[in-house]
Structure 1
């Protein structure tokens, strides 16, 4: 494996980073920069001209990608090679969105055929629910579907169903439960009707404590209304897992079992049967559009020249900022309320994937990897944490995301809504200006202000950002946008030489929690001094 920091190009980039370009200077020296530092594909236009890089830095980043064999690594990912080396398996989430009829052989098995068999079963279940053929124990049609999952089994479906709410054409309401403390489920069970509610238990291992605890509570609630357990299990539960044996033991009827594969990572799984709740909400036709958008980005990623390749460019920008410039905070700012859960989704996608400090060869890395990522709807964030972005002491990189077109003029109030959309666009563009250029972006009357508070009204600028413009937010463009970030994560992992597909840091917490849980239930165990005392307080022995 190539020694990252020993690469001549890596060292050249480190040299560039000692005196990084100033954004005001970059735009003064190149007035057409806003045209040239751009790329477009899959109805997404990317402007990265407000990144602190010049032509030479960009060339060196692209050279670095070639030195690290990115092209072959992309091919390995897309063709089912064992890119998840610590778990000795592929990471084939891209296979989940291949069109029907294409062939992808992995270890002698046509993966695409398996995927479309699963999608066909999903479609059958979705159609039965949406057409009111599926009935609860009392014979009434289903009105509510509750997705019980955590992590990737919750964040992706929740984000997508919220973003695509306008495409919902069913009377079925879709809900999400993830918290292990029961708060979400408790609130829902107070308003749902057990006769007309179906629960989807989404768990890759079908052993996740959080998910199964919520599932057991849901089962108890249903049995309190109708005590014939086989009927309740058959008519009110669907399971999605790699473990049909565990689903069967729990009581999920084989007709209601949807299968996953070990090569699907949880945070990459919304394209599979884990996305059942999305399909219930928007219908299988639109769900296939979502898959088609992701597949279009896959094809772009595989074939486009690196200088025009959106995921490659976005990933290299991320490496430049986090590793070379030392910008270890990144904010995702969608200027569209439909994307309100998109930053939350990306926190898992990026930080669970690339929050690593050990390289593929087992050596400790001696450079910064994944930055801390957070975000919110831009218009809300402006009244919350933008103060830090504009005047804080912390360097932060940002992604601004917004659709160009919104509202179609068919509603009587659409003219007013179109005006609101223009106002949102104006704020999106204005904020990135001030972040980039600071005081120089201000109109003269503000720039030259000389009142007694003028020292408090200074904006340093030089905060780098990328702007992503979607032609419109549709199932297809959402699929492309999500896949863009998935592949960005992979590009960064190749340069950082880490495995983005395992998550040992997640697993250790589960193991430790089980040990503490045993003590809370009357077992015996010794931990650190703090935990031991906290357990005494919880048990009422030290208050």
Structure 2
């Protein structure tokens, strides 16, 4: 494909943006049919784009752009295992991880679903053994705490889902508390070890390569702690570690027993891996039945993505609205605003998913792009964000595209009627804030009728015209969360397809890790000498300061 900026539809969208000019959302919102025209439903999900700065013609042109970029063909290539990760010459098959057990997917002469289901079955055996209180440490006591050692996709996805679905712990099992440690400085692990009993603690060592320095460092510290407290390193490794990796050889070399190894594959990107054995902490939190519901929800969204017309396709529409904001309205900031405390880590998860995937400036042909790609993305729980950065959204100088996310129903499972009503009142208030904030971002001062005599001071004015999308789910469950995550995965893919970039590699994170190893050696210098030819003056100065300070302490 040529540069999208050379396409006729791209030029037409540029002209559409000029024609729209400073036209305000309050004017667009006067159309009584706008909500019907710009909202779509699928299986308990609602996507409303009526607060985006989009007109019917805009949407038509965006769909033409998608067609000129051969989006339907690219979606098929993704889902059928074509080698679309060109820089690494392999497919991106995270969608295969959520296939039903009875479906086949043949790639390079193999039905890859056989291996996927075998990994899930082994994962289920380990989960059920722990839940039954039958996994015992070296002293014979059952495991009560599990610490996941991972970073990036081996941490953010499982952490986000475990927090979101904490209410879905299976009943009648031995309780297991899940904790996470990812930071290379050891602060999270050190805090956990203060409270843990080594005899009842199990570590999950999750790393696709099994050589990620952050995770490897934490795993070595955990192993030392266990051996120091319990002795017998061989038994400690066998009874207190599970390995999850794409390399059985490296897991074995490190000392993980074969029966405690879970495998996933090089065609699974780290940030797309929570559906695989990387999701073991999730399965321990919600049980394998709940984990399979998470997979089922994602698969349902995959089917919608594969078969729906582009004009009715939720990931496509969400992606195209982003393309419009970023490339034609010059809005290059994105806020993720969930109105449900259980989705606390969802903005963090999406930060990696989107910025590591689409933070690219080189096309698939290796040419520098001449258009913007991934926006700067951040977010927070909506009610908290209202008291933090909504000031900028409403009255700052930056245009920001916002995604409001909320469940419609909550707390129906509370048995006590009075308590249920109190919590449902709180949830209704949260929904009211969600809708009110997006309305105010859209309309500005016009959201509140004023008397003719009112003449507010400039610092009291709300300009409005800030675009937003609203995503509603009927209720938060493993199934609906699977849908929601898959929706954003596919949104990222659609935008990458239109920008003609590769969303499945991440070379930008590699070089910094490599030079960090050489920098560490400088910090080990006993003579406090730093080779000036090895580092720039700024870094040399920092290293010398640290070496001097360390020696004096």
TM-score range, shorter chain: over 0.9
8 Å contact kept, 2:3–2:500: no
Q: Which residue of structure 2 aligns with residue 479 of structure 1?
A: 482
Q: Give SS of 2:335's match.
A: strand
CA–CA separation in structure 2 for the residues paired with 1:40 and 1:86: 36
Q: Which residue of structure 1 aligns with residue 435 of structure 2?
A: 429
The Cα shift of 1:192 comes to 0.5
TM-score normalised over the length of structure 1: 0.98
Equivalent runs, 1:58-457 vs 2, <5 Å: 58-169=59-170, 170=173, 171-408=175-412, 409-412=414-417, 413-444=419-450, 449-450=454-455, 454-457=457-460
8 Å contact kept, 1:42–1:480: no
The Cα shift of 1:2 comes to 2.2
The Cα shift of 1:36 comes to 1.6
The number of residues matched between the two structures is 539
| Cα 1:168/1:449, change in 2 over 3 Å | farther
Q: Which residue of structure 1 aligns with residue 25 of structure 2?
A: 23
The Cα shift of 1:301 comes to 0.1
The Cα shift of 1:522 comes to 2.7
Q: Which residue of structure 1 aligns with residue 544 of structure 2?
A: 536
8 Å contact kept, 2:152–2:271: yes
1:500-537 Cα deviation digits (max 9, x unpaired): 00001011111111111122223975111100111000
The two structures, once aligned, show a CA RMSD in angstroms of: 1.3
Unmatched 5+ residue regions in structure 1? none
The Cα shift of 1:448 comes to 6.1
Is residue 2:494 matched to residue 1:497? no
Unmatched 5+ residue regions in structure 2? none
Q: Which residue of structure 1 aligns with residue 40 of structure 2?
A: 39
CA–CA separation in structure 2 for the residues paired with 1:194 and 1:179: 20
The Cα shift of 1:319 comes to 0.7
The Cα shift of 1:225 comes to 1.1
1:393-433 Cα deviation digits (max 9, x unpaired): 00000000000000115234111000000000000000000
8 Å contact kept, 1:407–1:414: yes
8 Å contact kept, 1:398–1:464: yes
CA–CA separation in structure 1 for the residues paired with 2:258 and 2:525: 37
CA–CA separation in structure 2 for the residues paired with 1:462 and 1:338: 29
CA–CA separation in structure 1 for the residues paired with 2:36 and 2:381: 27
Q: Give SS of 2:101's match.
A: coil
CA–CA separation in structure 1 for the residues paired with 2:350 and 2:486: 11
Of the structure 1 ranges 457-466 and 516-525, higher mean CA displacement relative to structure 2 is found in 516-525
8 Å contact kept, 1:101–1:113: no
CA–CA separation in structure 2 for the residues paired with 1:460 and 1:393: 10
Q: Give SS of 2:399's match.
A: coil
The Cα shift of 1:444 comes to 2.7
CA–CA separation in structure 2 for the residues paired with 1:387 and 1:400: 16
CA–CA separation in structure 1 for the residues paired with 2:209 and 2:485: 24
The Cα shift of 1:450 comes to 3.1
CA–CA separation in structure 2 for the residues paired with 1:6 and 1:232: 60
Is residue 2:522 matched to residue 1:514? no
CA–CA separation in structure 2 for the residues paired with 1:450 and 1:444: 9
CA–CA separation in structure 2 for the residues paired with 1:58 and 1:68: 15
8 Å contact kept, 1:328–1:372: yes
8 Å contact kept, 1:42–1:293: no
Q: Give SS of 2:199's match.
A: helix
CA–CA separation in structure 2 for the residues paired with 1:515 and 1:16: 52
CA–CA separation in structure 2 for the residues paired with 1:299 and 1:43: 15
Q: Which residue of structure 2 aligns with residue 57 of structure 1?
A: 58
Q: Give SS of 1:444's match.
A: coil
The Cα shift of 1:19 comes to 3.9
Q: Which residue of structure 1 aligns with residue 6 of structure 2?
A: 6
The Cα shift of 1:323 comes to 1.2
CA–CA separation in structure 1 for the residues paired with 2:439 and 2:477: 27
CA–CA separation in structure 1 for the residues paired with 2:517 and 2:18: 47
CA–CA separation in structure 2 for the residues paired with 1:304 and 1:55: 19
1:51-86 Cα deviation digits (max 9, x unpaired): 001000100000110110000100000000001000
Q: Give SS of 2:548's match.
A: coil
Structure 1's consecutive aligned runs of 4 or more residues displaced over 4 angstroms after TM superposition are none
